[in-house]
Chain A
Amino acid sequence: GAVVSQHPSRVICKSGTSVKIECRSLDFQATTMFWYRQFPKQSLMLMATSNEGSKATYEQGVEKDKFLINHASLTLSTLTVTSAHPEDSSFYICSARELPWTGGNSPLHFGNGTRLTVT
């Protein structure tokens, strides 16, 4: 089945530094990837939609200059948390929809998430 690899699985960084999270589709191509944030025991909140070869689309309330998204190829999207603060500590999960996309009824394939801790 389709596999999405997310790296790193855990990262601890100091306040003010930047952290890059990678999301790769291993055996399929994805023109669109999605980045979610999940707080403990809560649901997934969509942060942004990553589009290959064009700018990401951010959800309301998500700072695009703080959460930089790059989707340079059909198999790789990256999320960079810039100038990290402790309140950015969270679980970040990416997902991708496999091509060929069968209309609106294709499931998403999720990475295993990245636990970010900002000290």
Chain B
Amino acid sequence: SQQGEEDPQALSIQEGENATMNCSYKTSINNLQWYRQNSGRGLVHLILIRSNEREKHSGRLRVTLDTSKKSSSLLITASRAADTASYFCAAKSSNTGKLIFGQGTTLQVKP
């Protein structure tokens, strides 16, 4: 399967704590993207990191990319109840140009 893998599948934390999600992929990539999905809704783009970048920040989000290990992580700092959602990584294949989504991490932030 070309689908990427994410872990953990589910994560439950208290408000104010940090949440870390990991993603692994199989193909060579142009970039790796992270998306958020609220239940029953579409996906919202969060952040994009290019293959020649190692780390990127956007507000409370921090993304790392290790192309040698074909892995990425998303860190959400100082989590809020409103961060409760599913988070998907998506690897942009440099071979096909297609986005290959990971299995997703369901994050629950308890108030």
Interface of A with B (CB < 8 Å)?
4, 6, 34, 41-46, 91, 93, 95, 104-105, 107-113, 115
Interface of B with A (CB < 8 Å)?
3, 30-31, 33, 35, 40-45, 48, 50, 88, 92, 94, 97-99, 101-104, 106
Q: A110-B35, A110-B43 are in contact. List 14 more A-B contacts (CB 8 A).
A: A4-B42, A6-B42, A41-B106, A43-B88, A43-B103, A44-B43, A44-B101, A45-B3, A104-B92, A105-B48, A107-B33, A107-B48, A110-B45, A113-B41
Q: How far is the CB of A28 from chain B (nearest CB, A)?
A: 14
Complex Cα distance, B9 from A42, in Å, reads 10
Say yes or no: A113 contacts B103, CB within 8 Å.
no
Say yes or no: A115 contacts B31, CB within 8 Å.
no
Contact partner of A91 (CB less than 8 A), chosen from B40, B50, B94, B102, is: B40
A105: chain B residues at CB < 8 Å are 30-31, 48, 50, 92
Say yes or no: B3 contacts A43, CB within 8 Å.
yes
Q: How far is the CB of B11 from chain A (nearest CB, A)?
A: 14
Say yes or no: B92 contacts A113, CB within 8 Å.
no
Complex Cα distance, B39 from A113, in Å, reads 11
Q: How far is the CB of B90 from chain A (nearest CB, A)?
A: 8
Complex Cα distance, B41 from A95, in Å, reads 12
B31: chain A residues at CB < 8 Å are 104-105
